[in-house]
Structure 1
Amino acid sequence: MNRNFPLLIKDRTQCLLCEDHIETNNHLWECPNNYDTIKSSFIQMGDNLIKLLNTHADRLSLVISDSIKYSQTFKWAYRSDPIHPVAILLLKSYISNDLLGIFRSHINTMKHIVKVILPYMQECSILIKINIWKKRNQKWKMLRDAWGITKKSFTKYRELFSRNQRAAAALNRPIEIDNNRDMERGYINPFNDFRNFKLDKDFLFILFSSSNFLHSGSFFSHLDEVFSFNNVINHNFLNLAIYNV
């Protein structure tokens, strides 16, 4: 918004919650002022998963609680450790290999897992929106009102500010040059790698379909690297790093 509406936001890009860091897609999940809310949400999601698997488990029902409380996705919350990168994937509606592994430990068939895991992901998504996004949105509305900005300020931006004002604001903006290829398509999740094609095809379908278009840049970026000139010349496809989270 600061890039597209500089005369409204006026470079006020600090985190709405902690006001100590520039707000980014990743910082929302790492903000210290959001930690307790995220942790309590994961404890609730973990407890809900224990109840869910107790109903659907085909095997090892006595260790369901341990499978969840010692997994990378949930262990950090029960122990009050720093948030784990795999947990951030769940916050962004990705189904990680770690989360799928919990289901595979207690349910025999992939067909049954798919039937159970997708409603669970929907439940988690709703919980995250209610507990985490709502808190941030409420703070944004308060600041927006304090700044004298309304929804119409954005839709009528061209009417509120002349062409000369908008042009001057654009010229006065600092030019930021970033040679990092990962930034060419905007935000890219650093913890997902879609080159691990050893995964079950049903799981790959879930992984891709549970991601929205905002995160598709990571997939195309990996394709760029896989088919880069050096890799093609050296037939070096199998030596690429694979994240197995």
Structure 2
Amino acid sequence: MNRNFPLLIKDRTQCLLCHNHIESNIHLWECPENYDIIKSSFIQMGDSLINLLNTHADRLSLVISDSIKYSQTFKWAYRSEPIHPVALLLLKSYISNDLLGIFRSHINIMKHIIKIIMPYMQQCSILIKVNIWKARNQKWKLMRDAWGITKRSFTKYQDIFPRNERAAAAFNRMLDIDNNREMERGYINPFNDFRNFKLDKDFLFILFSSSNFLHSGSFFSHLDEVFSLNNVLNNNFLNLAIYNV
């Protein structure tokens, strides 16, 4: 929003909840003001998973509760510990090996696991959006009103601010960016950068067979390095990271 409507947001990009960090998709999950909401959400998701597996388990039904409450995905919430990195994957709608391992410990057939894990992930996604996004959106509406911004301010942006003001704001922003192409594209999910998955062939197959993977900013950022002038002049293509995946 600050990139597209600089004359409205005016570089007020601090976190709406803690006011100590720049607002970002990553910080949303790490913000200390969100910890209690996230923790209670994971306890709800853990209790829901216990009930789900008690209904569908093929084996080891007596230890279902322990399988969940001692897993990396949920243990931190039940013990009020710092958020585990695996839990961040669930927050971003990834099915981690840890979460899948819980299902595989109690259900024999993978086809059956897939049949019940997808609806469970949908329930988790809805719960996260309701609990976490709702609190943030309420805070945004309060801040928006305090700044004197309405929905009409965005839809009528070009009518409210003359072209010369918008051009000056865009020019000043380009100077601040200093040709940082990644910032021009906005947020890039770090999990979608294939340089972090050089040994994960399954992930690479999904990435490179996707019809729109070329739209990935991280891919082009990598090509900036691969086809830099020095590499082209020195003909060092065989030593480049893109060929060493």
- When the two structures are superposed, what TM-score results if normalisation uses the length of structure 1? 0.79
- Check whether the contact 2:61–2:106 (CA below 8 A) recurs between aligned residues: yes
Question: Aligned ranges for residues 141-156 of structure 1 at < 5 Å?
Answer: 141-156=141-156
Structure 1 residue ranges without an equivalent (≥5): 206-212, 238-245
The yes-or-no answer on 1:11 pairing with 2:11 is yes
Question: Aligned ranges for residues 218-229 of structure 1 at < 5 Å?
Answer: 229=237
Q: Secondary structure at the match of 2:190?
A: coil
Q: Percent identity?
A: 69
Q: Which residue of 2 aligns with 1:242?
A: none
Aligned CA RMSD, in angstroms, stands at 3.4
What code does the residue aligned with 1:196 have?
D
Q: CA, structure 1 residues 9+47, in 2 after alignment: closer, same or farther (shift >3 Å)?
A: same
CA displacement, residues 109-137 of structure 1 (integer Å, 9 cap, x when unaligned):
11100110011011101110111000000
Q: Which runs of 4+ in 1 moved over 3 A?
A: 177-186, 190-195, 216-224, 227-237
Q: Which residue of 1 aligns with 2:165?
A: 165
- Check whether the contact 2:76–2:83 (CA below 8 A) recurs between aligned residues: yes
- Check whether the contact 1:50–1:64 (CA below 8 A) recurs between aligned residues: yes
CA displacement, residues 8-36 of structure 1 (integer Å, 9 cap, x when unaligned):
00111000000111101100000000000
- Check whether the contact 1:182–1:221 (CA below 8 A) recurs between aligned residues: no
Q: Which residue of 2 aligns with 1:77?
A: 77
Q: Shift in Å at residue 67 of structure 1?
A: 1.1
Q: Using CA pairs under 8 Å that are at least 6 residues apart, name the structure with larger relative contact order, 1 or 2.
A: 1
- Check whether the contact 1:53–1:64 (CA below 8 A) recurs between aligned residues: yes
The yes-or-no answer on 1:134 pairing with 2:138 is no
Q: Which residue of 2 aligns with 1:188?
A: 189
Structure with greater proportional helix content: 2
Question: Aligned ranges for residues 26-41 of structure 1 at < 5 Å?
Answer: 26-41=26-41
Q: Which residue of 1 aligns with 2:42?
A: 42
Q: Shift in Å at residue 78 of structure 1?
A: 1.1
Query: Distance in 1 between the 2:76 and 2:216 partners?
Result: 28
The number of equivalent residue pairs is 225
Q: CA, structure 1 residues 122+16, in 2 after alignment: closer, same or farther (shift >3 Å)?
A: same
Q: Shift in Å at residue 100 of structure 1?
A: 0.9
Q: Shift in Å at residue 198 of structure 1?
A: 6.5
Q: Which residue of 1 aligns with 2:103?
A: 103
